[in-house]
Structure 1
Amino acid sequence: MNFIFIFIAALLAASVTLWLGLALWRGPKLDSSLEHHAVNARVLRDQLAELEQDRANGILSLPDHAAAQQELQRRALDEATPAQSTGLRRQSSKQAAIALAIVLPVAATLTYLALGNLAAITPPPVQSAPAMTQADVQAMVDSLAARLARNPDDAPGWLMLARSYRYFEKYEDAAAAFAKATAVIQADPLALSEYAETLARSNQAGFKGEPTQLLERALSLNPREPFALTLAGAAALERQDYPAAIDYWQQLLGLLPADSDAAQAVANTIERARREQAETAAAKN
């Protein structure tokens, strides 16, 4: 960016300097002036010849002839003066052109250095953002909790706080925050699934009761929600409903790329569920 700006500025300055320099170097056109003086000189010569003819014919007396001749000589001197001044102007125009070619670029550079902003064309170095530590996250969570204490009707804020507590594995605090975010999680399948998992981890009953109801609601909103299918399979396995668990996880497997690590993990889980199902059936017999 810096190089492009300097190149364009130099090109513009050079163009203006060249245009003005050529105009001064050439100076004013002299053709018409020279032609004018040549015509006047011929006229004066003709008039002088006429005077001589009139003197010879006796039309003009000697004193009148002398006076007329002096007048013509004076006019001839006057006609010669502009040609000399024109030469001086032409010489001074060339000197001005040379001075302009030197002074204009230097003056433009010095003016920009004095008044311009070099930093504007030099982008500041990109600085990488400092890595956020767990202490920084904890400080943000504490600040959010303090704000919600002053504004308890902020349902989106409670959902954010609940997810933050889940991050720190504070499941009881997370469950309490989810309960205050009911207004926004009832239509959010992922948030319902997170709430169900939080409740299952924070009490001895596991997925029994409200967590399973939350998962059922999440799947009714979006039957293809991956986290809801994962937890629904876990809840079914917990109550030893192996066919339901295998069905949920097979639906989940269909949503994952066939060659991904996640798909392989789900396939292994399905295989374990089938072995447990077979072992449980054998034990009953």
Structure 2
Amino acid sequence: MIDFWLAAGLLLLVALSFLLIPVLRSRRAQLEEDRTALNVALYQERVAELQVQQQEGVLDAAQMDAGRAEAARELLADTEGVVAPRVTRLGKAAPLLAAILVPVLGLGLYLHFGASDKVELTREFAQAPQSMEEMTRRLERAVAAQPDSAEALYFLGRTYMTQDRPADAAKVFERTVNLAGRQPELLGQWAQAQYFADGKKWSDKVQALTDEALKADPKEVTSLGLLGIAAFEGQRYQEAIDYWNRLLDQLPPDDQSRIALQGGITRASEKLVASGGKVAQAPAAKPAALLKVRVDLAADLKAKVQPGDSVFIFARATSGPPAPLAAKRLTVADLPATVELGDGDAMMPQLKLSNFPEVQLVARISRAGQPTAGEWIGRSQPLASSTTAPQELTIDSPDK
């Protein structure tokens, strides 16, 4: 920030020079004008003396003319090189007043409309925070500087939750929803914060938020986890087991929260049995999808590609979100190649191959390494995600 103010000060000095230099020049011109006036007065005084001497008979007409000519030569020599001052209507006060008002007005406008606070925030975020409290302060400043940033609000709400400040988090998530729309994930986060802010008491508001979230996305993980917690606290152990099992199905195999979640299911099962109940068997899970595809390059394209060009192979739902359900990355040098795309390659837990009945296989060559745009592409016909037969995919068309 110091560098910024130094640069601004230097530019201000340059700007002031354009205002003050004319003032200094006008003062010099005034001195020249005063000296010329003095010389003219001396000339007039000398001529007057010569006229007196002529009247007294001391000088004749020829001597009078010679003396007047000599005085005129002296006046011309004294005023030679003096430039006539330029007439200005601004006067001397206007530039001086502008020299004072321009920087003051510029500073005021910058402080009001400028972004010095955002510049400072950017510099701070470039360095890793030393503590969670420092991170929270940074996020609070970011929200103050950018009150319409849903992303900043979301991260601030998550930070409040890690600091056991659910009431503050609930207010922040409510603002986030108002800005970003009623997205299932945001509704789930808001419901969770509100539940803990109310002292773990289930309310109509929390129920409405979780219902809306799961209606839009039946696999919304925060709502499933929260409903499981509420059911467990209300001694509805079978409901808790069902919700947590549904959540467990959405988590990746290496997710660390699976251990805690499985522990909660075990405790709920034990309490259900101890109360005389019986744990209902969960419905059989869908078998994991696994597609095998051999990818090759059309013969007429082999001379147009380079060995290091990236090759993205992915499967996407024919009816559903445009995001890839599973993806692999190779290079042209690896072709032809056979790859497997399965649930373990899911880009997001809720977007698994097995969750969509029909998919399309796509292979794209991108010299820039961008999975969303490239030079050449190959597409398969729609096929069932449960397909087990190996598939053939040829890259043979310009990517438009």
Q: What interval of TM-score do these two structures reach, taking the shorter chain for normalisation?
A: 0.3 to 0.5
More strand by share: 2
Work out which of the two has the higher radius of gyration on C-alpha atoms and give 1 or 2.
Answer: 1
Normalization by structure 1: what TM-score? 0.45
TM-score scaled by length of structure 2: 0.33
Bigger RCO of structures 1 and 2 (CA < 8 A, at least 6 apart): 1
**Greater helix percent: which structure?**
1
